[in-house]
Amino acid sequence: METFKDRVVLIESVGDEIGYAIALMMASKGAKLAVLDINGKNTSHMVSKLKENGIEAYGVTSDPADCTGAKQAIASIMEKYGRIDILVNNSDMIVKNEIVNTKAQNWYQGAKNNMDPAYFLSREVIPIMRKQSHGRIINIGSVEYLGLPHTSIYSAAKSSMLGFTRSLALETAKDHITVNWIVKGDIHSSKMSEEQVEKLAAKIPVKKLGTPDDVAGAVSFFAADTSKFITGQTFFVCGGKSLYFSMSI
């Protein structure tokens, strides 16, 4: 079994079930955890939930979409662990509205919340990973980057991660750092009603929703030493929905 013993993984944006699943899976394989969120309640809740499972985690509350906030977060984690091996950029904030009904602020917020954390955190961890001669940066996106009505801001923000991932992979390949992008489809949440689940599942080729563990498994794959020859790639975790996305609205 792949092990992450002595590896330090930083999981950004931990206020959802996907962040928790990633933390559990990485910890189960020996990784040391650092969890980061702009919301202190999310950070504290995640650390408490992990502790209930016998897992220790270092929680950091800071704004990763801000230059200073990202620097402070990385400095705090380095002081705690002395290294960062794996960065999981997990920011996801959906903005839904017809473009003519949006305001400039909606556009700026869409970029800030979906793109900026990956930029600032990656910029801070790459020098660290270069010194270690090892690193994994894993960006998490959504199939909605392919485009849907009323999601122009969200789709634009998410689609930008494709170019970001590929360019960053080229910049860091010689440094033994890989950069990959996971594109998630419809993932089951405890907040969904049975009706919502059934409606979404009907539009997926496998006729069921994914789970947070499905996303966590993809993260584990890219984070592994056995994936050292894979970089700049897009990995769909969507039950086949991306194959006919424009027809599945």
**Tens digit of pLDDT for each residue in 58-74?**
999 999 999 999 999 99
Asked if residue 1 is part of any domain, the answer here is: no
pLDDT given at position 95: 75
Asked if residue 243 is part of any domain, the answer here is: yes
pLDDT at 220 over 90: yes
Asked if residue 2 is part of any domain, the answer here is: no
Average pLDDT value for residue range 151-156: 87
pTM, to two decimals: 0.95
Asked if residue 3 is part of any domain, the answer here is: no
Asked if residue 194 is part of any domain, the answer here is: yes
Q: How many domains does the chain have?
A: 1
Asked if residue 205 is part of any domain, the answer here is: yes
DSSP E strands in the chain: the ranges are 8-12, 32-37, 57-61, 86-89, 135-142, 177-184, 234-237
CB count in 10 Å sphere of residue 208: 14
Question: Which domain covers residue 62, as residue numbers?
Answer: 8-247
CATH number at residue 17: 3.40.50.720
Residue 212: helix, strand or coil by DSSP? helix
